[in-house]
Structure 1
Amino acid sequence: MAAPHNVGAAPMTGSSRRVLHVLKYYRPAFTGEGVFLERCSAVMQELAGTVEHDLLVTHTPRPSRPEAAGFCSTLRRVLYLNAGPVPTVLHHARLAWWFLRNLWRYDAVHFRTHADWYFVTYLLTRLAGRRLVLSATLDDSLPVLINHYRPGLRRLVAVGFRLFHAYVGISPRLHEQNRAAAAVPERCHLIPCGVTVPLATPGTRERVRRSLGVRPADPVLLFVGGLCARKDPLFLIEAMPAVLARHPGARLVLVGPPLEPDYVQKLEAAAAAGTGASVVFAGEQLDPHPWFEAADLLVFASRLEGFGTVVPEAMAHGLPVVARRLPGVNDSFVLEGETGFLMEDQAAYLEAVLRLAGDAALRRRLGSAGKALCARKFGMRQVAARYLGVYGVAEAGVPSPEGPESGLGCTASITDSRFHAQASTAAADPQGVPLLLTMVDAEEAFDWTHPFSRDARDVTSMRSQHLAHRVFSRHGVVPVYLADHPVASQDAGRAPLRELLQGGLCDLGAQLHPWVTPPFTEAIGEANSYAGNLPVAVELEKARCLTGALEDAFAITPQIYRTGRFGVGPRTADVLKQLGYVADSSVSPCWPAAAQRHDPGAWASPPGPYWVDGERTLMEIPVSAALVGRLARHGGRVAPFLFRPGADRLRLAGAAARLGLLERIRLSPEGMTVEEAKRLTRAMLAQGHRVFVLTYHSPSLEPGNTPYVRTVAQRDRFLAWLDAYYTFFREEVGGRNATWREVRFGTAAAAASPLALAS
């Protein structure tokens, strides 16, 4: 069931707890701590789904363009304190005022850097009874911070730092320094930066190496980090002539943003003078993992690190490492001759690099050992669980931190407009002709008035879909059937659909009904009928199971998806990206969940298909629905009261519709008259819409399965509705029927797809 007409997007359940993270510097001038926060917040969200995470950025100015900042889908809000540089006193006054106004929202506050040198916000947090945490991440342990103050103030400053409930050091050196200065050493926690490694896409190594122009046997040395003097990539460039003397085809790839322009000029000059094209400046990469896949070893000459996450990250990719020795930082995991080599001068560096470059077996042995060590010591699930414990917000029943990592990213969102960009449909129809897509929710029949049941798996209504195809054939409609697990796993469902597919009469997508899709680990109920309410790991596994069942049943990998009941969640887009989907249709405007009802944006129709990720790989194609009438432009204020639960008893919505003031309409023959559908279409056309999505449920084609079709006569009217609407759309609107593939890829690419060629 895509959604009865009284439900909408997945409602959040339970009482959320919130953690505020405070960073000085964030996007677009990125920091290692910002990278870690994004990745860790993703895993904390997987372990404790009702804990929300916000970020306050105190020093980086607010970007003029939101898209320039970049976003993380598991940071609910990213807030910038200042739009530009401000005097110090004004800055701290704004910080204190922000805390006074917003501190009540949070259960814990984690200062990831010492951002308040006057201790005002620290005191406010304690007075408010919130948990207060401070991190040391580079050269900012407690004794170092205390020594930054004038000698006469240091005793008072030490007392001020006692306000914190917990101190986190990310390396043994920082941890011991914290313990030496803390009044209560037991408050100090050693929590290293965790490491996550996404699943590699087949062929990535070969693709990236081809772009570098290297042969299979040529060694690729990788550096990842900001291009600045502290990281010392000049050391690596100056050593390259000696490497090239032994390995002429070698490459040194520098992945990272240019943080210090003058220093970068020195790097470029040194590379031009001594190495030719063997040094590659790859620039900042939002996703550095393909570069790890392409490399043979990591080289890292940084002179100062709190932890140096890139080193264990490379090890987690199976790369041996050669790094500058940083006592108390990296000597506990870069084990000499076991996982890599530590060096202190160029001679030691060249000895290690040349040895590894010339011995593939040694690289494999050290890489394998490093990968195993990282899994034991730096798994992000263990790290995230420890942070939740430090914050005091860990939930009962949190999944074990020892479990497998999901590998999900956190760079997309179907519901969060920060990630969205309108998609052009010019390639589907350069003339701007309105396009109509037909999507059928191919699913089991069940009583919509009864509780959900795993036993409701009757898919015999699939045998009646040919009745709709009599209409489709007259109008040139090629629908996409969004099939769920019962349809894919039973002959009564998959046989009729397979016949339609083989005849080129339809396309195939996926629809997730959680209560009938394995694995069955969740309790059955209203809340868990929305996939977006499930723990992320469960949502991922159910989507993966459904995708596999469809592949097995139809020998087609589905590429378009819908969450049953339009129950999209905060990580649904991340799930779909990992599983390779390129389009989604889980948004049904104007039917918001209770928690969203008073948000005016929840009653607005998106302007058309839109991208949900910065890479523009996943497109949302919303179902067509809108508020229609003379009050439509005020709908965001009026609709929450007119369409609230219980309002039907007052018959206000019916009166408003009859008077032409306001009505909400979805483009469907279920519960809507054809005249209502026409009014919706005209209103949406006037708003600039050019892509329309018509949807209904497959069980409606057999009487008695849904509230919309109880008799044969009602089914006849249902089919007549389709015939009349397609005629209207072609003759009055001047539109044409299209497929989702045309909208997503363009007409030419869709025509060349394997499905189109097969038909």
Structure 2
Amino acid sequence: MTDSSGKRRPAGVLHILKYYRPEFTGEGVFLERSSAVMQEIAPTVAHELLVTHTPAPADPDAASACSTLRRVTYLSRGTFRAAALLWWMLRNLRRFDTVHVRTHADWYFGSYLLARLYGCRLVISATLDDSLPMLVSQYRPALRPIARRGFRLFDAYVAISPKLHAETLRAAPAERCHLIPCGITAPPQTAGTRARMRAAIGAAEDDPVLLFVGGLVERKDPLLLIEALPRLRAAHPRTRLVLVGPEIEPAYAAGLRAAAARLGVTEAVVFAGERRDPHPWFAAADMLVFASRLEGFGTVVPEAMAHGLPVVARRLPGVNDDFVLPGETGFLFDTAEEYVAAVLRLMDDASLRRRLGTAARDLARRRFAMGAIARRWLDVYGLAGHVIGEPFADLPETALGCTASVTDRRFHAPACAAAPDEQPLLLTTVDAEESFDWSGPFSREAVDVRAMGSQQLAHRVFERHRVVPTYLVDYPVAAQEEGCAPLRELLQDGCCDIGAQLHPWVNPPFLEEVGTHTSYAGNLPAALEYEKARRLTEVIGERLGVRPRIFRAGRYGAGRRTADVLKRLGYRADSSVAVCWPPEGTEWARGSWPVSSRPYWLDRDRTLMEIPVSAGLVGRLAGPLGARMAPLAFGRPGLAPVGAGLSRFGLLERIRLTPEGITIEEAKRLVRHMRAGGHRVFVLTYHSPSLEPGNTPYTRTAEDVRRLLDWLDDFYTFFREEIGGRPARWEELRFGAAATPERGLVALRDGAARL
């Protein structure tokens, strides 16, 4: 598990699915959620997905469903699928230590044999009606002995329910058989979620709300729930049934609507559709009702239990009867009459609902917590040695999603389309941080924030040009009165906005070793990155009275899970991308450079926007060729003379919009170049300690500080008079891109709200 230097060697797991969004949801959704937790507890294990039957979606956004799947490959080749699978495996298996066949995709066993020849550990799982005996039975009788021998290639057989496990034990050695149920996630909901969701469907607090979550397909039988509704409404007239899930079988879904109309309950049935985040609906409901006739596990049932909901579910022996305990965590039914009786019993007795809901939550979180399930999977994969140990193991579960990424371009979409007649906007950000020796080692003791008292020097310039800067505040500034007092005064006068900036080495909890690698938040285990960001967010709220909604990773060190962390904490914007300046030792430095400063979305839901600091490549070679040359010319120390030569002769230079280390003429040249290319949004930045001499390499003397202030004064004048632009606040950039003016105003109020 380690290399010659003693570091843990990266490992890879290939997951194989036949169907992945939207035709097949259950196993794909579990893969997304489990890989997110596996990435947190074993960050040196990379997960990839190979989809054999579902065609690649036409919409690129639909192909980027999970930030913890490094790559999703769609293989579909029609009648030549088996050959395509074998060829793909031949070219790619060297990247993987384990191959997890989540659905039996190679009926000829050629790719499985190849995986064994490559030394991969081979795992197959049963999730619905695909236990080992069932798979063998699908071959012609003459071929079944060969199929049995083919399945012996697998090192492990995993079942997600006792029923499937018992079936597999009849056909495979017990030591290779494992029972691992689906893990669940139940992120806490914000205050007011229940009232907000119920108001959206017209339900008062005392109105019974029944919830179904799952695909609208005949197998899951939501028709029974609709047909029973008139009897329930006879006793409780304001009962509502919410159906959350995709219309996988459109004709069946149409039949559900027709049944609701025929029975006169159309207004009582809410077709909520597919939801990437169904958890707010659990908060809105009084119970989960689930009539599915066939499930491998039925994850939604324990998931609802984890949210404290009693459940009424169809009895599926060996699947749900060991955790839906009648009268303890919910009720099981076999007939429509038993279903109606169970639901009415819960409707009539609020104390019973509370008692069963509490017991359900305790059982679900004890037995199905995703952290424990993820560890069991890693053990089956033979990768238990990659699980992080002390001191990180005791961090609380994050309940992070996996739907956004700062570093993965699959998730990105343009956010602000600039019309030619729109006025250019300039955002000013200040890294409000402690003073420390930039040339020395990182130290937890370097927490001097006296330079915050000098910010009034810049505000004399800001006032002349009507600039309202955004201070991106780190922990030492927020936690010390000497740091936050000047900001509190500026806030009271409406002279600034507040965001957050994470410097890991001075931000608790202090679990990691201090060093260059760990100075980038994105290099930390995701649970530690989240906990540091959570504490930073809270201390800013406590000391400054404002909940920050814009974030920057200190040293521009964002990582694979940074955007997921920000979404979990309620941020609306990030500014962690160093265009053309990828920090050494981060994921950016290992791939192609980000070269666009245009704002863009970081998630498919378009709730988190990236607002990069303005920078770019300028010169006669700027363009696609320059973008390919820049990582070589400016990113490799040995080629520094090449980069210097390109800059000297005006062929290619990289410029960032900052008064630190960039001349005013360079900054103007950058902005002219970007404006000619259609840019409308510009972001200027500098560090707060630069306003006192001796703190940063850019202002060693009082004269240097004066020159920095003159630079700002000159630039704001240039931006207004020559470029025709004006200062902007970050909320204007973020919420001005909202889909509708009404949404923008609501979001703006939310983003600027005081605690």
Shared fold (TM-score greater than 0.5)? yes
Q: Which digits, 9 at most, give the CA deviation of each residue in 1:91-125, with x for residues without a partner?
A: 11111111111111111110111111110110010
Alpha-carbon distance change, 697 to 332 in structure 1, aligned in 2, over 3 angstroms: same
Q: What letter corresponds to residue 638 of structure 1 in structure 2?
A: M
Which of 163, 178, 181 is residue 171 of structure 2 equivalent to? Answer: 181
Residue 14 of structure 1: how far off its partner (Å): 6.3
Match of 1:59 in 2: 53
Alpha-carbon distance change, 237 to 680 in structure 1, aligned in 2, over 3 angstroms: same
What is the 5 A alignment of 1:497-576? 497-576=487-566
Match of 1:411 in 2: 403
Contact (CA 8 Å) 2:557, 2:583: kept in 1 or not? no
1:635 equivalent in alignment to 2:629: no
Q: Which digits, 9 at most, give the CA deviation of each residue in 1:669-725, with x for residues without a partner?
A: 111111111111111112211111111111111111111111122222221211221
Contact (CA 8 Å) 1:28, 1:63: kept in 2 or not? no
Gap runs ≥5 in structure 1? 1-12
Percentage identity across aligned positions? 63
SS in structure 1 at match of 2:210: strand
Which of 248, 266, 274 is residue 237 of structure 2 equivalent to? Answer: 248
SS in structure 2 at match of 1:643: helix
Match of 1:313 in 2: 303
Q: Which digits, 9 at most, give the CA deviation of each residue in 1:167-206, with x for residues without a partner?
A: 1100011111111101x22111100001101111221212
1:239 equivalent in alignment to 2:228: yes
Alpha-carbon distance change, 264 to 491 in structure 1, aligned in 2, over 3 angstroms: closer
Number of aligned residues: 737
Contact (CA 8 Å) 1:99, 1:121: kept in 2 or not? yes
Match of 1:17 in 2: 11
Residue 498 of structure 1: how far off its partner (Å): 1.9
Match of 1:5 in 2: none
Alpha-carbon distance change, 52 to 560 in structure 1, aligned in 2, over 3 angstroms: same
Which of 65, 86, 106 is residue 71 of structure 1 equivalent to? Answer: 65
Residue 150 of structure 1: how far off its partner (Å): 1.2
Q: Which digits, 9 at most, give the CA deviation of each residue in 1:509-541, with x for residues without a partner?
A: 111100001111111000000001111111111
Contact (CA 8 Å) 1:381, 1:401: kept in 2 or not? no
Contact (CA 8 Å) 2:572, 2:751: kept in 1 or not? no
Q: What letter corresponds to residue 123 of structure 1 in structure 2?
A: L
Residue 642 of structure 1: how far off its partner (Å): 1.0
Gap runs ≥5 in structure 2? 1-6
What is the 5 A alignment of 1:373-388? 373-388=363-378
Which of 147, 152, 160 is residue 157 of structure 1 equivalent to? Answer: 147
1:372 equivalent in alignment to 2:354: no
1:301 equivalent in alignment to 2:291: yes
C-alpha distance in structure 1 between counterparts of 2:426 and 2:275, whole Å:
38
Match of 2:593 in 1: 602
Residue 454 of structure 1: how far off its partner (Å): 0.3
Match of 2:32 in 1: 38
C-alpha distance in structure 2 between counterparts of 1:402 and 1:247, whole Å:
47
Match of 2:467 in 1: 477
What is the 5 A alignment of 1:696-711? 696-711=686-701
Match of 2:42 in 1: 48
What is the 5 A alignment of 1:632-671? 632-633=622-623, 634-647=625-638, 651-671=641-661
C-alpha distance in structure 2 between counterparts of 1:679 and 1:278, whole Å:
62
1:493 equivalent in alignment to 2:483: yes
Ranked by relative contact order (alpha carbons within 8 Å, sequence separation 6 or more), the top structure is: 1
SS in structure 2 at match of 1:677: helix
Residue 261 of structure 1: how far off its partner (Å): 2.6
Contact (CA 8 Å) 1:231, 1:302: kept in 2 or not? yes
C-alpha distance in structure 1 between counterparts of 2:484 and 2:245, whole Å:
50
Match of 2:349 in 1: 359
Q: Which digits, 9 at most, give the CA deviation of each residue in 1:29-86, with x for residues without a partner?
A: 242011111111111111111211111111111111112345111111111112xx61
Residue 598 of structure 1: how far off its partner (Å): 7.9
Residue 431 of structure 1: how far off its partner (Å): 4.1
C-alpha distance in structure 2 between counterparts of 1:396 and 1:228, whole Å:
39
Q: What letter corresponds to residue 269 of structure 1 in structure 2?
A: A
Match of 2:735 in 1: 745
C-alpha distance in structure 2 between counterparts of 1:298 and 1:618, whole Å:
31
SS in structure 2 at match of 1:313: helix
Contact (CA 8 Å) 2:395, 2:528: kept in 1 or not? no
Match of 2:443 in 1: 453
Alpha-carbon distance change, 97 to 172 in structure 1, aligned in 2, over 3 angstroms: same
Match of 1:290 in 2: 280
Contact (CA 8 Å) 1:255, 1:281: kept in 2 or not? yes
C-alpha distance in structure 2 between counterparts of 1:729 and 1:279, whole Å:
55
C-alpha distance in structure 1 between counterparts of 2:666 and 2:395, whole Å:
51
C-alpha distance in structure 2 between counterparts of 1:751 and 1:209, whole Å:
20
Which of 666, 686, 696 is residue 676 of structure 1 equivalent to? Answer: 666
Q: Which runs of 4+ in 1 moved over 3 A?
A: 396-404, 593-601, 746-758
Contact (CA 8 Å) 1:504, 1:755: kept in 2 or not? no
Match of 1:725 in 2: 715
Alpha-carbon distance change, 704 to 14 in structure 1, aligned in 2, over 3 angstroms: farther
C-alpha distance in structure 2 between counterparts of 1:567 and 1:751, whole Å:
27
1:712 equivalent in alignment to 2:702: yes
Alpha-carbon distance change, 310 to 396 in structure 1, aligned in 2, over 3 angstroms: closer
1:170 equivalent in alignment to 2:164: no
In the superposition, the TM-score normalised over structure 2's length comes to 0.94
Residue 220 of structure 1: how far off its partner (Å): 1.5
Q: Which digits, 9 at most, give the CA deviation of each residue in 1:607-650, with x for residues without a partner?
A: x11111222221111001111111111123211221133236x6
SS in structure 1 at match of 2:136: helix
Alpha-carbon distance change, 28 to 743 in structure 1, aligned in 2, over 3 angstroms: same
C-alpha distance in structure 2 between counterparts of 1:626 and 1:516, whole Å:
31
Match of 2:4 in 1: none
C-alpha distance in structure 2 between counterparts of 1:626 and 1:97, whole Å:
41
Residue 402 of structure 1: how far off its partner (Å): 7.9
C-alpha distance in structure 1 between counterparts of 2:275 and 2:594, whole Å:
37
Q: What letter corresponds to residue 422 of structure 1 in structure 2?
A: P
Q: What letter corresponds to residue 158 of structure 2 in structure 1?
A: V
Match of 2:197 in 1: 208
1:197 equivalent in alignment to 2:186: yes
Instruction: Choose 527-536 or 591-600, whichever is displaced more.
Output: 591-600
Residue 596 of structure 1: how far off its partner (Å): 5.9
Match of 1:217 in 2: 206
Q: What letter corresponds to residue 263 of structure 1 in structure 2?
A: Y
C-alpha distance in structure 2 between counterparts of 1:551 and 1:597, whole Å:
31
Contact (CA 8 Å) 1:600, 1:637: kept in 2 or not? no
Q: What letter corresponds to residue 605 of structure 2 in structure 1?
A: E
1:349 equivalent in alignment to 2:343: no
Q: Which digits, 9 at most, give the CA deviation of each residue in 1:207-230, with x for residues without a partner?
A: 222222223222212111111111
C-alpha distance in structure 2 between counterparts of 1:636 and 1:757, whole Å:
40
Contact (CA 8 Å) 1:237, 1:271: kept in 2 or not? yes
Q: What letter corresponds to residue 134 of structure 2 in structure 1?
A: V
RMSD: 2.2
Q: What letter corresponds to residue 413 of structure 1 in structure 2?
A: S
Q: What letter corresponds to residue 469 of structure 2 in structure 1?
A: P
SS in structure 2 at match of 1:189: strand
SS in structure 2 at match of 1:515: helix
C-alpha distance in structure 2 between counterparts of 1:156 and 1:754, whole Å:
63
Contact (CA 8 Å) 1:603, 1:636: kept in 2 or not? no
Which of 458, 466, 475 is residue 468 of structure 1 equivalent to? Answer: 458
Q: Which digits, 9 at most, give the CA deviation of each residue in 1:123-153, with x for residues without a partner?
A: 0100000111100000000011011111111
1:129 equivalent in alignment to 2:132: no
Q: What letter corresponds to residue 499 of structure 1 in structure 2?
A: E
In the superposition, the TM-score normalised over structure 1's length comes to 0.94
SS in structure 1 at match of 2:122: strand
C-alpha distance in structure 2 between counterparts of 1:603 and 1:284, whole Å:
33
Residue 755 of structure 1: how far off its partner (Å): 10
C-alpha distance in structure 2 between counterparts of 1:189 and 1:134, whole Å:
10
SS in structure 2 at match of 1:91: helix
Contact (CA 8 Å) 1:741, 1:750: kept in 2 or not? no
C-alpha distance in structure 1 between counterparts of 2:34 and 2:149, whole Å:
31
Contact (CA 8 Å) 1:485, 1:512: kept in 2 or not? yes
SS in structure 2 at match of 1:312: helix
